Chain A
């Protein structure tokens, strides 16, 4: 479930649609949670679907660390990648604002931790732009990403959290915020383990080509 102060807007033919803030969203706010309406499908379940489903799954679902496909039920599926994203993942089930987001600013996340099967061209245009993004980026950048998440996590108790209650396990988030549990590193969400695989085809989900761009 995505934060209610967001809407879908058309960006350009290359990028397609994106999600934009309609009100200020302060740093530390959880902007997306995995909720019970999001659909988690195993590779076998996706394969059992008729071929007509495949392009849509490829475009809109991401792959979690178990290799399962996650299809967001709302415009969470339309959040684009940026190499300087406004959101970063906190564990599996939460995306948090890592800076203050202004009304009209695009909500973006880091696809490098979402186990992409191929390499996507990036149009983010930020000074930190890597030009393209792949599922193995997390293995090169996890230290910086972990630090960004830790920096923003301390703001979480000071801001309004309108969607946290709809997460599958909100207490998990607070356990990480309050330090009663250690927040796992971004690295641990890499579905291929912690090694950089040369042969991506050894992963079942890697056989699927992912479309560039992001509606």
Chain B
């Protein structure tokens, strides 16, 4: 689920839609965490779809997990665009975090090379900002891993000092590690009312 202080807006006709902050989102804020409504599609699921729909999903709206599944966020987080100098980065704790202050009206961006870009995949980044790599390739991840990790490590300690509207989606372990969520032990767990992975795979 994406941070509630965000909305979908059109960036421009080339890039299409993107996700924008509607209020200040301070660095160290968890801006996305996986939740029970997200879908995890297998390569077989994609193959069973119309070719154009599958291609659109692959290119634009899903990211590949370590398990080889295509994660499709159920809400506007699927519209978060790539930037070579993103203000959001993925962590290995199941959430994404703001690595800079995101100002009201500023677009929220992520680095797609850090989201399971595959060996045979590459795309052109149309942003052309300072630091833009132009072509985004698979080897970028290996080269930039330590750079991303350092940015995340810098902001993780801030997590306990800023508002965390998505803390309810984090596991107890992660909340304790980050020291977020005031009454960690008394909080109810998020109800996982249906194993969605199976729901996505079930054929009627």
Contact = CB atoms under 8 A, between A and B. Distances in A.
Nearest to B37: A39
Contacts of A36: 200, 202-204
B200 A8 contact: no
Interface in A8-49: 8-10, 16-17, 36-37, 39, 45, 48-49
A4 B51 CA distance: 9
Contacts of A56: 75
B153 interface: no
Contacts of B165: 52
Contacts, number: 58
Contacts of B74: 39, 71, 73
Nearest to B1: A52
A45 B72 contact: no
Interface in A143-173: 162-163, 166, 168-169
Interface in B185-204: 190-191, 193-194, 199-200, 202-204
Contacts of A71: 37, 74
Contact of B53 (A1, A45, A53): A1
Interface string A52-96: 110110000000000000010110000000000000000000000
Interface in B155-204: 165-166, 168-169, 190-191, 193-194, 199-200, 202-204
Interface residues of A, number: 27
Nearest to B192: A48
Contacts of A10: 9-10, 17
A215 interface: yes
A169 B9 CA distance: 35
Nearest to A169: B204
Nearest to A39: B37
Nearest to B54: A4
A10 B8 CA distance: 9
A127 interface: no
A179 interface: no
Interface of B: 1, 4, 8-10, 16-17, 36-37, 39, 49-50, 52-53, 56, 72, 74-75, 165-166, 168-169, 190-191, 193-194, 199-200, 202-204
Which 6 residue pairs of A and B lie closest in terms of their CB atoms, listed nearest first?
A10-B10, A4-B52, A48-B191, A168-B204, A45-B193, A50-B168
Given A4-B53, A8-B16, A45-B194, 6 more contacts: A1-B50, A37-B200, A39-B199, A48-B191, A49-B193, A55-B4
